[in-house]
Chain A
């Protein structure tokens, strides 16, 4: 008998009588996610937020913040003028090792924890949001959901090869519980929020 069969047989013999799954509808809410809450929580976990009028303003901020001589990449066509390296010309993902700034669009943000959800298609390469020194994320104000339950309602049965929630810059407190920003991933994360002033989003 293979280990697979052995394990499955032992599980079958030893598992208790079936119990029901709980009703998760108690966590449902029709409340729109609060952008203010999202911004607040993002701040507490080391992220930055910028309310912008459009892509031009984002490009301006990134230019003035990081200056010249830095490697900026983005799969977003709106930043054609800003980027220093074209992701389509990449020979190996290892060439991303010296990226300074990556600008990526996320699907939505989560107010309760300051996270954004982003999938492989928006990353160009899976490693990009992790290997870059600084991460810039673009989201639309109307996409903020309030809790992780709403987040998964929104993801629903979406198809992706890889997806991740990113909540702030990489960090560690492994040395005497002292918080250090910039562990292995980005040293900073800025979320650029589009359309924050339209409608009831704010």
Chain B
């Protein structure tokens, strides 16, 4: 997959070239947001549930050291092998080793944003291992050689005609078919063959229970189960933050997760894996990859409470109009923009600025992460650490200089009004980012200061 050096604004601009598509993308995601609202409003105790989920996750983060060990002990007692990976590279190497040990060169994988974060598919491809993604949306973007643009709906940016074309090229259907029913049936037949012939299956983990050592995987399609139950070896990759203390806590989270994500009351399948099948193997890889660093950042550790429902993306006015790919990171949208700078401040410096700070994300978050506050705080951290773009830095310096001197301030105001009035071409051009998709305002005749001098004393 293509590595990009463009920032969010540049990538969003590319996405915005096709205005109809942007409107369609915007409306589709808002439709999902509306379904979420309907589902939430059907539960009178919704806010109590959010608060409970938030408190459970706070407890998890504050006792993670114990829970991780408790989970490991119980999982091992269940006959599961537990591995620990400090970073993406180690995670990928462990997966590769397990595939080698199984003596195969092909693997089927259900949705795991962690493996996207780790770049697992690319790594395995380089090592001669074929990975097939089995979630329909993920399979589509995989065939298109693109990353997912949304964590729940990986190909939400694609039109059905484009998907028909991809299936025409790769799965041999006739050209010009765009019926979702037909396309889904095509993928079903294609992937059934895959499920029945792969000996190693990798899944993500939605929740892991310290008390019992079991883990829960949620899907609508049944692809995680088809892969895992037909394989000899099941590898489950999880971040350290996926833990819940007790099984009964799932009651809170399974009520919140899918209602927040798609407005469904629950996913079709909520599968609890505890022990491997007779004679088969389950491996769990517990991954850090920067999470312990984030845990140490007081202002940002709450981001680790995320359960990946994507409600913050569906509601975000910036995400809806800029598309998931503009975030150039595995987890897009508001939550991705507070997770990514922890991994690489320089590379993701643009993301906390890709927000209006309207706060809608925080209002829909099922575990009450203060997302928009964290976006605001990241901006300050990034600028102080010297990562702000040169133009922004220069602009801010000029503003500081101007605002700290009343004389300069008045002069600059006058100059601005004069330019807008007598030389509008100086600002109404492409070099001025404020002019993009906007008309510049008509300048007032005088500043408030000047007006007050004239009128303030009258009475």
Interface residues of A, Cβ cutoff 8 Å to B:
2-4, 6-8, 10-22, 24, 26-27, 41, 45, 93-94, 97, 110, 112-115, 125-127, 130-131, 147-149, 151-153, 155, 157, 160-178, 180, 182-186
Additional A-B contact list (18), CB under 8 Å, known A152-B251, A162-B272, A174-B154: A10-B292, A11-B240, A24-B251, A112-B255, A112-B265, A149-B251, A153-B248, A163-B271, A167-B265, A170-B269, A172-B137, A175-B136, A175-B155, A175-B160, A175-B180, A176-B28, A176-B160, A180-B180
Q: Which of B3-11, B190-198, B385-393 has 4 or more CB atoms under 8 Å from chain A?
A: B190-198
B45 proximity list for chain A (CB < 8 A): 26-27
Q: How far is the CB of A145 from chain B (nearest CB, A)?
A: 11
In the assembled complex, B286 has its CB within 8 A of some CB on chain A: yes
Does B222 contact A14, Cβ atoms closer than 8 Å? no
Does A18 contact B220, Cβ atoms closer than 8 Å? no
Does A147 contact B229, Cβ atoms closer than 8 Å? no
B85 proximity list for chain A (CB < 8 A): 3
B447 proximity list for chain A (CB < 8 A): none
Count contacts on B: residues with CB < 8 A to the other chain.
87
Q: Which of A19, A153, A174, A184 contacts B153 (CB 8 A)?
A: A174
Does A11 contact B295, Cβ atoms closer than 8 Å? yes
Does A183 contact B59, Cβ atoms closer than 8 Å? no
Does B229 contact A97, Cβ atoms closer than 8 Å? no
Q: Which of A6, A24, A112 contacts B252 (CB 8 A)?
A: A24
Q: Which of A27, A115, A147, A164 contacts B225 (CB 8 A)?
A: A164
A4 proximity list for chain B (CB < 8 A): 84
The distance in angstroms between the C-alpha atoms of A189 and B249, with both chains bound, is 28
Does B64 contact A15, Cβ atoms closer than 8 Å? yes
For the complex of A and B, 6 pairs with smallest distance between CB atoms: A185-B222, A14-B296, A183-B221, A113-B265, A174-B137, A10-B292
Does A182 contact B185, Cβ atoms closer than 8 Å? yes
In the assembled complex, B365 has its CB within 8 A of some CB on chain A: no
Does B184 contact A183, Cβ atoms closer than 8 Å? yes
The distance in angstroms between the C-alpha atoms of A94 and B198, with both chains bound, is 11
Report which residue of A41, A168, A169, A170 has the largest number of chain B beta carbons within 10 angstroms of its beta carbon: A170
B86 proximity list for chain A (CB < 8 A): 3, 6-7
Q: How far is the CB of B109 from chain A (nearest CB, A)?
A: 13
Q: Which of B192, B247, B288 contacts A155 (CB 8 A)?
A: B247
The distance in angstroms between the C-alpha atoms of A133 and B86, with both chains bound, is 42
Q: Using known A-B contacts A127-B226, A127-B229, A172-B220, determine if residue A178 contacts B180 with beta carbons closer than 8 Å.
A: yes
Q: Using known A-B contacts A26-B48, A45-B265, A153-B248, determine if residue A161 contacts B222 with beta carbons closer than 8 Å.
A: no
Q: Using known A-B contacts A130-B222, A164-B225, A183-B220, determine if residue A3 contacts B84 with beta carbons closer than 8 Å.
A: yes
Does A15 contact B274, Cβ atoms closer than 8 Å? no
Q: Which of B84, B135, B274 contacts A162 (CB 8 A)?
A: B274
Query: 1/0 contact trace for B41-76 toward A, CB 8 Å?
Result: 000010011011001101101111100110000000
Does A15 contact B62, Cβ atoms closer than 8 Å? yes
Q: Which of B28, B191, B268 contacts A171 (CB 8 A)?
A: B268
Report which residue of A151, A167, A168, A176 has the largest number of chain B beta carbons within 10 angstroms of its beta carbon: A176
Query: Which B residue sits closest to A12, measured CB to CB?
Result: B65
Query: Which B residue sits closest to A94, measured CB to CB?
Result: B196
Q: How far is the CB of A129 from chain B (nearest CB, A)?
A: 8
Does B269 contact A185, Cβ atoms closer than 8 Å? yes
The distance in angstroms between the C-alpha atoms of A45 and B263, with both chains bound, is 11
The distance in angstroms between the C-alpha atoms of A174 and B186, with both chains bound, is 14
A-B contact pairs, 12 of them (CB 8 A): A3-B85, A21-B55, A21-B59, A113-B265, A152-B247, A164-B269, A165-B254, A174-B140, A175-B158, A175-B184, A183-B188, A185-B222
Contacting A at CB under 8 A, from B153-189, are: 153-156, 158-160, 163, 180-181, 183-185, 188
Q: How far is the CB of B16 from chain A (nearest CB, A)?
A: 20
Q: Using known A-B contacts A8-B69, A170-B268, determine if residue A20 contacts B59 with beta carbons closer than 8 Å.
A: yes
B286 proximity list for chain A (CB < 8 A): 7
The distance in angstroms between the C-alpha atoms of A14 and B195, with both chains bound, is 41
B61 proximity list for chain A (CB < 8 A): 15-16
Contacting A at CB under 8 A, from B301-335, are: 301
